[in-house]
Amino acid sequence: MRATALPTKTFDKLAGTTACDGLSRLGWQVEAGHKGFSLGESVAAQLHISVDVSCDLIDFGSVQIDGRAERDPGRKLNGGEQVKVFWPQDGIHRWYEVDGRRILYHDRQLLAYDKETGIPSQQTPSDAYNNLFAALHRFLAEKSARPYLALHHRLDRDTSGVMLFAVDQSVNRKLGNAFKHHNIAKDYLAWAEGHPKRDEWIAREDIGRKAGSYRTCPQGQGKSAETWFKVLLRREDRSFIWARPRTGRTHQIRLHLASSGHPVIGDRLYGTASAQRLLLHAYRLSLLHPATDQPLVLTAPVPAGWPEPHELAISPCNAPALCFNTCGSTFP
């Protein structure tokens, strides 16, 4: 895999710029006198790097024009465009590929994968290569000249577990509507700090943003969010919890558990760095197959590195009812 290091001169320049999501960001407006320059030439001149390194940076997905990622270093500039560079913290390093052993299900229409912790679901501002969507596309391209891949849900970078993709356009809209209308049951497992007072409850706090960060807020002051929780096990200082979100807000389970006073263990954003990884796992998806209308249950095993138990029977019969029709998931 290719890797490109950042010259010291460029690093010093980026170090004095604004941090964005943990990344160094540099932006400028293309001068009128640079009309006709290629994007690769412009980035090379601004960052004091070679055109080859500049082109590699652009191909890596780290450069935006007017707020949109641009991966063609040969694109001609007209002057006046806003260019932003998000330099990846580890440099331009192409290292992630899918592990065929983690494919949970694959037929002509669907592919399910057990995502590793620490891997983004899709492209980030600084990196279009090292993410599950791009890696699966490369995997499929080895078998088909024109692979199709569509994503309708995401997991946080540090959340592991099952993700489902459409690999045939004929089911894309139906699968998308199933996620949109909550006709897919999503079951998560988490180790949380402390002991909740109740064994089972529903969190209904809204989720909003303040100063760039997600937070819970009273109903009506953010986007509606609803999560069902059930305590499966209690240990000395932690609890093993089953979560089923009805809505799909960013960081929803993590925020609702933190709001209850029992953040997910290892949650550096909303709790404490009490574990090497976030102990949140997307355990199961239950749906009707969009091509056959037959029930399909996709399960990602509990990660081996988790605290015991590594295997635990979780019966859908003990969860809120799932209606396999237009009504979506319902709660008691």
pLDDT tens track for 235-266: 989 999 999 999 999 999 999 999 999 999 99
pTM of the model: 0.85
The pLDDT of residue 188 is: 97
With bands split at pLDDT 50, 70 and 90, how would you rate the model's confidence at 274? confident
Let me know: does 238 contact 191? Beta carbons within 8 Å. yes
The token pair that represents 207 in the structure block: 């989720």
Q: Does a structural domain hold residue 331?
A: no
What CATH code is carried by the domain that includes residue 158? Answer: 3.30.2350.10
Lowest mean pLDDT among 8-17, 201-210, 272-281: 8-17
Residues 302, 235 share a domain: yes
Half-sphere exposure for 107 (CA within 13 Å, toward CB): 9
Q: Does a structural domain hold residue 139?
A: yes
Q: Does a structural domain hold residue 186?
A: yes
The string over 83-119, giving b where at least 16 C-beta atoms fall within 10 Å of a residue's C-beta and e elsewhere, is: bbbbbbeeebbbebebeeebebbeeebbbbbbbebeb
CA distance 40 to 17: 21
The pLDDT of residue 13 is: 46
Instruction: Name the more confident of 24 and 28.
Output: 28
What is the average per-residue pLDDT within 320-330?
Answer: 38
What is the average per-residue pLDDT within 151-175?
Answer: 97
Q: Is 156 designated active site?
A: yes
Q: Does a structural domain hold residue 233?
A: yes
Domain that holds residue 158: 100-318
CA distance 15 to 251: 29
Residues 277, 186 share a domain: yes
Q: Does a structural domain hold residue 326?
A: no
Tell me which DSSP letter residue 171 carries: G
Number of domains composing the chain:
2
Residues 206, 62 share a domain: no
Question: For residue 319, which amino acid is it?
Answer: A
Residues 28, 166 share a domain: no
Our measurement of the distance from residue 175's CA atom to the centroid of its chain's CA atoms, rounded to an integer in Å, reads 18
The pLDDT of residue 214 is: 92
Instruction: Using the 3D structure, point to which of 63, 93, 123 is the last residue of a domain.
Output: 93
Q: Does a structural domain hold residue 312?
A: yes
Let me know: does 315 contact 175? Beta carbons within 8 Å. no
Examine residue 309 and say whether the peptide bond preceding it is cis (omega within 30 degrees of 0).
yes
Residues 183, 126 share a domain: yes
Instruction: Name the more confident of 153 and 11.
Output: 153
Residues 196, 295 share a domain: yes
Let me know: does 86 contact 20? Beta carbons within 8 Å. yes
Residues 119, 214 share a domain: yes
Exactly one of 56, 127, 156, 206 is catalytic; name it: 156
